[in-house]
A and B are shown apart, each in its own frame.
Chain A
Amino acid sequence: MTLLDDLRRVVGPEHVLCDEAARRVYARDSWPVAALRVHHGRPLAAPDAVVLPGDTAEVAAVVGLLYQAGVPIIPFGGGSGVLGGTLPVGGGVVVDTKRLDRVLEINDEGLFVTAQAGILGVDLEKALARAGFTLGHFPQSIDVATIGGFVATRSAGQFSTKYGNIEDIVLALEVVLPEGRVVRTKRTARSSTGPDLKNIFIGSEGTLGIITEVTLRIHVRPEKRETESYEIDTFSEGLEAIRRVMRAGYRPAVVRLYDPLETAHSFKERVTQGKCLLLFVCEGPARLVDLELKAVDEIMAAFPHRRLGPEPGRHWLETRNIVSGLPEFMNQGLVVDTLEVATTWDRVAQLHQAVTERMFKVKGIVSVSAHSSHSYTQGTNLYVTFLALGPDPAEAEDVYQRVWDAAMEACLEVGGTISHHHGVGLQRVKWMPRELGSAAEVLVRLKKALDPKGLMNPGKLFPTDGPAGPSGPSGPTERAGAAGPPGQSEPAGPAESSDRVPGEVG
């Protein structure tokens, strides 16, 4: 009886995939480096197999079997991550959670929803909408990401300024730990019973366990939604306007400020060239929305501006999840990506200047632009988009990494956080020791305690020494022998190249 036979017995033979097509497709997510590899026909490390459990008990059984056998376990949701967080860098078995896609309870009185972790965000939101509720969590990936993925990557939604980010929305979690045990945290509005244990798993990126069930706060669907936009002279004046809105205690659902380049790209013909667009969406009880819009307008009076009315906001609402740039640019020999950093208000201008200037200096850069899209009383994020020349395969990945290096170094130098909401994955691992500083030890100890063999999503989140490092445990071919008959789970073709996997670049 091989490990593959055992897995088939647990989930059913049709839910264990070892075919070349599956192994190739599960070798990547939406990380541009993986996309570049696909585009240029360059190798990516493939998983030995993909398993699709149907419920928590099956996840637990699968994880237990794999852990005992010493096989790396790579949790997989929608594969929409943009940092390589689901890449099986050292082979292993991908555990796809998408069969866990049921809404288990929508509780009207307690205003919460419990759902299995593999449901797509859009499907959960539709189910809530039918019952008169909203999650209020609208990341751009809502159509392609699972809610388990939202939690695992510590995601932020476009309406986060009002509804909070995923860590503010999660009430309780069910998690399968590396050795296959199931733990559940208590559903409560709040608790004072020691550290909040669910937070250990929010942002853990599959390195500490597999999230199988999520309980989330929900909201009654807003009575009213209005948008208002302003043309403003400079990015720094826009940032100051947002700071004042937040400081005064208002919470528009969406606050977005675009620099002149992004304004010209997304709101051409609506805004004077060289100026910035500042966009607000307010929603909730009608009286509150009216009040908030009026207050925003009063705050804006302190800045030279032109009021643009609701149209730019409506345009944004309609087009906000349309992404065509990356694939089309890649086909033109260009590399495009986004990265998101954040800091407190006292350093925002400095962060913006440092990051964008440093990126502009990279040889091959074509453009760098930025917007602020998630604001808080204490600070905001900067979402930076870059375009660089990458006509041939090696050059494309090289310029990509050099641009990232520039941005991350500049960010760390001025004290910003290197990620606001995309997470770490493989791409940001090398900067994590500096990002976490003295607190890094807590994460390292936690990882060692929960995953002593270092088998959970190896190579992600933090560059630990030993088995959890990017080089992973034993090679895939060695494991394949233990997993099943030759040829059945053995990586084949380009995926088995000795080329370094993207996670090891740089």
Chain B
Amino acid sequence: MSEKAAKRFDLATQARICAVCPNMCRFLCPVAAVEKIETVTPRGKAQLAVAVERGEIPLSPETAGVFYHCATCKVCREWCPSGVDLPEVTGGLRRRAAREGLAPVAARTLTERLLRDRSLYLSPVEAGGRLSRYRELLTPGAKVLYFAGCSTAALHPEIVGATLRLFEAAGVKVAMLETEQCCGLPLDVLGYRDEAAGLARDLAEAVAAGGYETVVSGCPMCTYVFKEIYPVLGARLGAEVKHVTEFFFGLHEDGALVKLGRKHDLAVTYHDPCYLGRYQDVFDAPRRLLSDVAGLRLLEMESNRGLAACCGGAPATDAAVPGTATAIGARRAAEARRTGADLLVTACPHCLDMLGPAAGSGDGPPAGPGDGPPVRDISEVLAERFGVLPRR
């Protein structure tokens, strides 16, 4: 973000500024690029947000639907010289839509399912069953809690195994919750903040009861919501929160994770998950883990770091306009392909699903577009390089 963006306006002013801007960020907006209509450009959404807030037009199901055509990727905010945070503006309208029963059917359906199952995918009990094979890697009473997150636990249990073996290789004792549940972020993004708060408080209570010092997760949506939204929702974890890339890079800097050196000629490209990069400012740790620590050849995509293109995997787009989300993923996969890398690595289970065929047990959401190189999670790639997992 530019220096000017540090200057903050309140959300209403941000919307007004965006509504009269020449729409200079539109080329970065993944939804606008895919849907190709003015209504969903950043300026279009801001103009409607202002009109709704002023009562010039009613918030109807039709108008409310427009505010779900947002990937919440925040690339527009990153670019904006005025620091306008449009996903926050549209988020406010999604909350109002949810309160007034105007949210799209898909958002309501997902919310009902999440509240019933407390997970995006399998029920927590079923997911826990899948992870039982890793129980021997856990240490009851450990000070570090590994939180897999519902997407990883249900669709990518092998990532859980890889991550736990990395902890073991680094000499870090970890525990997991007996039963995990959704962190609440999808509900919050879809506009159901009160419902998200309920889930958040339940989860926070379970975590706090364990007396952990650190909570580590490989899901950036979980770590973001723990760090930034839980305090707003009144949910206290009582522990420091780190994404696995932050945690393992910290171990490396402390000398606990030995550098492997540049011994491998595998070329990888790294996709910045929006919720890890732009939301949590974690750009260097995954790259340095891949290049400095694992010795892989890192090729950057045309768009990377702060301006990295989104994969479409965030809940608002993915749930409400799945066709748009898939097309956004295909664009990013094509960008990865153009690097010529052997492997596309990311650090988010949702990105994993959007950018390539699901690497998990095969019963997850529809496979991604498969237009890029094979896609892997960073924990698995690191575990293989450290020899704690056999190479696939």
Contact = CB atoms under 8 A, between A and B. Distances in A.
Interface in B32-91: 36-39, 41, 44, 47-48, 50-51, 54, 56-57, 60, 62-63, 66, 80-82
Contacts of B22: 30, 80, 82, 141, 144, 323, 326
B21 A21 contact: no
Contact of A324 (B51, B62, B82): B82
A130 B338 contact: yes
Contacts of B17: 327-328, 330-331
A245 B25 CA distance: 36
Given A78-B26, A321-B24, A324-B4, A17 B36 contact: no
Interface string A66-81: 0000000000101110
B13 interface: yes
Interface string B211-233: 00000000000000000000000
A79 B47 contact: no
A373 B101 CA distance: 53
A9 to B, nearest CB: 20
A39 B17 CA distance: 9
A460 interface: no
Nearest to A94: B38
Interface string A40-64: 0100000000101000000000000
B358 interface: no
Nearest to B18: A327
Interface in B1-38: 2, 4, 9, 13, 16-28, 36-38
**Max chain A CB contacts within 10 Å: which of B17, B18, B62, B66?**
B17
B302 interface: yes
Interface stretch (A96-104, A165-173, A349-357): A96-104
A246 B23 CA distance: 35
A413 to B, nearest CB: 30
A493 B56 contact: yes
Contacts of A17: 37, 39
Nearest to B23: A144
A20 B26 contact: no
A323 B38 contact: no
Interface string B284-317: 0000000000000000001000000000000000
Nearest to A37: B20
Contact of A493 (B16, B20, B57): B57
A101 B4 CA distance: 33
Given A19-B62, A20-B63, A327-B82, A143 B20 contact: no
Given A39-B20, A79-B23, A323-B24, A24 B36 contact: no
A394 interface: no
Interface stretch (A120-128, A261-269, A441-449, A465-473): A120-128
A323 B36 contact: no
A148 to B, nearest CB: 13
B20 A494 contact: no
A220 B13 CA distance: 45
A324 B83 CA distance: 10
A321 B27 CA distance: 13
Given A30-B22, A38-B20, A143-B27, A20 B38 contact: no
Contact of A20 (B2, B4, B57): B57
A26 interface: yes
Which label, helix, strand, loop or mixed, suits the secondary structure of the B interface? loop
Contacts of B54: 41
Contact of A38 (B36, B50, B338): B50
Contacts of B4: 324
Interface string A317-348: 00001111011101100000000000000000
Contacts of B16: 39, 327, 331
Contacts of A99: 36
Contacts of A38: 19-20, 47, 50
A130 B334 CA distance: 13
Nearest to A330: B20
Interface string A238-252: 000000000000000
B37 to A, nearest CB: 7
B23 A80 contact: yes
Contacts, number: 116
Nearest to A122: B27
B48 A24 contact: yes
**Max chain A CB contacts within 10 Å: which of B22, B48, B62?**
B22
Nearest to B13: A331
Interface in A127-150: 130, 141, 143-144
B37 A96 contact: yes
B62 A96 contact: no
Given A41-B56, A144-B22, A21 B27 contact: no
Given A126-B302, A326-B20, A331-B17, A96 B2 contact: no
Contacts of B39: 17, 21-22, 25-26
A432 interface: no
Contacts of B37: 17, 22, 50, 52, 96, 98
Contact of A25 (B44, B81, B338): B44
A35 interface: yes
B38 A26 contact: yes
Contacts of B48: 21, 24-25
Contacts of A493: 56-57
Given A38-B19, A323-B21, A323-B24, A328 B82 contact: yes
B27 A123 contact: yes
Given A20-B57, A144-B22, A101 B36 contact: yes
Contact of B21 (A22, A25, A36, A327): A327
A50 B17 CA distance: 25
Contacts of A126: 302
Contacts of B62: 19-21
B129 to A, nearest CB: 42
B26 A143 contact: yes
Nearest to A20: B57
A22 B66 CA distance: 10
A98 B36 contact: yes
Contacts of A328: 17, 82
Contact of B38 (A19, A25, A82, A330): A25
A33 to B, nearest CB: 11
Nearest to A54: B36
Contacts of B13: 331
A22 B38 contact: yes
A30 B24 CA distance: 10
Nearest to B62: A19
26 contacts: A19-B62, A21-B57, A24-B57, A25-B41, A25-B48, A35-B20, A36-B20, A38-B47, A38-B50, A78-B26, A80-B23, A98-B36, A98-B37, A141-B22, A143-B26, A144-B22, A323-B21, A326-B21, A327-B17, A327-B20, A327-B21, A330-B20, A331-B13, A331-B16, A493-B56, A493-B57
Given A21-B44, A327-B20, A331-B20, 4 more contacts: A25-B48, A41-B51, A322-B2, A331-B9
Interface of A: 17, 19-22, 24-26, 28, 30, 35-36, 38-39, 41, 50, 52, 76, 78-80, 82, 96, 98-99, 101, 118, 120, 122-123, 126, 130, 141, 143-144, 321-324, 326-328, 330-331, 493-494
